[in-house]
Structure 1
Amino acid sequence: MPEGDTVFRTAERLRPALVGKTLSRSDFRVPRFATVDLVGDLITDVGTYGKHLFIRTDKLSIHTHLKMEGEWRVFHCGQRWTKPRVNARIVLANDEVEAVGFDLGKVEVLPLADEQKVIAHLGPDLLAPNFDADEAQRRLLAYPKRSIGAALLDQRNLAGIGNIYRSEICFLRKVHPATLVGDIDALPALVAEAHRVMNQAARQPPWRQLVYRKNRRPCPRCGMALVARVLDDPDSPDPVSQRERGIYFCPRCQPEPS
C-alpha cells in the first residue's frame, strides 16, 4: 500500500501540472460523482494529509486515497496513457496535460469546508510542517498495552506510516515490534525517528529498505537472519487488514520482550 511519502511526492508531481490552470475536462468514473463537471474551474492547490490527497478549487476539494493499487500519472495532451483506460477513475485535464488517477481506492468531491471531516480522526501528519510530536505521543500512550508495531500502523496515532516504515522505524530504534507502547522508555525518540524517516523518504528518495520484505536475509547490522511476524491487534480499526500484514525485524538486534 502506498504510504505517506508516496502521496506527498504525488502531490509534488501534480502541482506544476494543475495548480493555477483552468480545467478543460473533468471525468469522474465513479457512479456517485459521474455527473460532476468542473470544466472552467481553476485548480488552486494540491495538498496532502497522511495518505489522503486533496486537489482544490476555490470552492471544492477532490479527495482521493490510493489504497492498495492506486496512483496518479500525468500525460501531455494527446499522449498515450501508460495504463489501461478501464483502470482510470478520474481525469483532470487542462490545455497542456491530463492528470489521470488509476485504480484509486477512494474518489469523492467535497465542499472545501468538509475536508476536516475526512481527516478529523487522524493523528498528526508526519510530513506536515507543524507536526505535533507531543500529540503523537499522547495518542500512542492512550493504549499502553498495545504493541508498538500495531500502534504505528494505526493512522489515528500518526498519519502516513504503513507497513514498510513501521518495520524500518522499529528496526532503527532496536525495538521489538511486539513491545508494549507503555514499556518503551524512549518513546519520544521513536516518534522523532518516525518523523525523520518519513521526511527523508518523502523529500530525499529513494528510501533504501533495511528490513522490510527481507525475511531470512541477513540483518544489515548484525548479520542474523531477519524474520517476519503477524501481530494480533484487537484495537485495530481494520483487524482483517492488520492480520494480513507481516512486520519484519531482527531477533537479535530487536530482542523480544520477556
Structure 2
Amino acid sequence: MLRTARRLTQALADGPLVRAELRWPSVAGANLVGAQALETVSHGKHLLTRFDDGRTLHTHLRMEGTYQIRRTLPQPQRWPQHTVRVVLATSRWTCVGISLGMVDLVATTQESSVIGHLGPDLMADDVDVATAAANLRAQGDRAIGEVLLDQRVAAGIGTIYTAETLWLHRINPWLPASEVPDPENVMSTAAQIMRCSADAPSITATGDPRPGRGTHTYGRANQPCRRCGTPIREGRLGQPPSDRVTYWCPRCQAR
C-alpha cells in the first residue's frame, strides 16, 4: 500500500485536477476539479489523498482493488467498467481506482473519523512498536495469527507477512497472544520485512527474488520447510465468513 501511495503522490503532483469522478453513492456529487493533490499517504491498507482545499479522499483497496495510472489523453478517456470507483486526472496523468472497497471524502482535520479505529501503522517511518505490542498483549487468548491480522491491533499486516513473521519467530499461528514471549520483537520483525518490500519490491521475505522462492511458508502448502524440511501445512484463522488462510511448519512452529 505504501508503494501505491507513493505512485499516486507522484502522478497527482503534476497540477490541479482537470477531471474528478467519484463513483460511490455517498460522495457522487462531490466536485474536486481544480483542487491540487498535496500527497497520498497510507495507514495500513487505507489510502488518504489530501488536497489543498482542506479535503481528504479516503479509499481502501480491500482484496481486489487497484489503482491504474495512465497518460491523460487529449480527448477524455472513457472508463465504462462497472468496477471503476474513482477517476482523478491532471493534465498529464490519470489515476483510476478499480474495485475499491471504500470511498469517503472528509475534512483533512477529520481523518480520524475514517482511520481512528486502527492500530499503529507498521509501515510508518516512526512506527510505534510499543503501542502495537501492548495492543497484542491485550488480546488474551486469541490466536496470535488472528491477532496480527486484526487492523485494530496494528495496521498493515496481511496474510503473507503474518505467516512469514510467525515462521521467523517459530511461533504457532494458534498460540494465545498472551503467551507470545516477545511481542515487541514480533511487531518489529513484521514492520521490517514489510518496509523492505515496499522500499525495494525485488526484496522478498526470504531475500531470494527468484520465482517461487520469495516466501518461507506462505503459498507453500505441502512443500518442504526451508529450515527443517517438514512439509508446510495450510489452515484457516478466525471464524467464517471472515476467516483467513495461513501457513506454518508443524515442526518449527509446534505448540
> TM-score over 0.5 for the alignment?
yes
1:75-94 equivalence runs, <5 A: 75-78=70-73, 85-94=81-90
Deviation (angstroms), 1:106 = 0.8
Q: Which moved more, 1:129-138 or 1:198-207?
A: 198-207
Is this contact kept in 2: 1:19–1:46, CA < 8 A? no
Deviation (angstroms), 1:240 = 2.6
Cα displacement string for residues 152-203 of structure 1 (whole angstroms, at most 9, x for unaligned residues): 0001111000111111110111111111111122222212111111111211
Equivalent position SS for 1:9: helix
Is this contact kept in 2: 1:56–1:112, CA < 8 A? yes
The structure with the largest helix share of the pair is 1
Distance, in Å, in 2 between the alignment partners of 1:91 and 1:231 is 36
Deviation (angstroms), 1:84 = 6.5
Deviation (angstroms), 1:142 = 0.8
Distance 1:22 1:232, change over 3 A: closer
Is this contact kept in 1: 2:163–2:218, CA < 8 A? yes
Deviation (angstroms), 1:125 = 0.4
Distance, in Å, in 2 between the alignment partners of 1:198 and 1:87 is 28
TM-score, length-scaled by structure 2: 0.90
Distance, in Å, in 1 between the alignment partners of 2:96 and 2:237 is 36
Whether 2:218 is the aligned partner of 1:224: answer: no
* Paired residue type of 1:160: G
Aligned to 1:252: 251
Which structure 1 residue ranges, 5 or more long, are not aligned?
Answer: 1-6, 234-238
Q: 2:69 pairs with 68, 74, 77, which one?
A: 74
Whether 2:33 is the aligned partner of 1:39: answer: yes
Deviation (angstroms), 1:231 = 2.8
Whether 2:47 is the aligned partner of 1:53: answer: yes
Whether 2:202 is the aligned partner of 1:196: answer: no
Larger relative contact order (Cα-Cα within 8 Å, sequence gap ≥ 6):
1
Equivalent position SS for 1:170: helix
TM-score, length-scaled by structure 1: 0.89
Is this contact kept in 2: 1:55–1:62, CA < 8 A? yes
* Paired residue type of 2:241: V
Equivalent position SS for 1:157: coil
Aligned to 2:58: 63
Which structure 2 residue ranges, 5 or more long, are not aligned?
Answer: 205-213
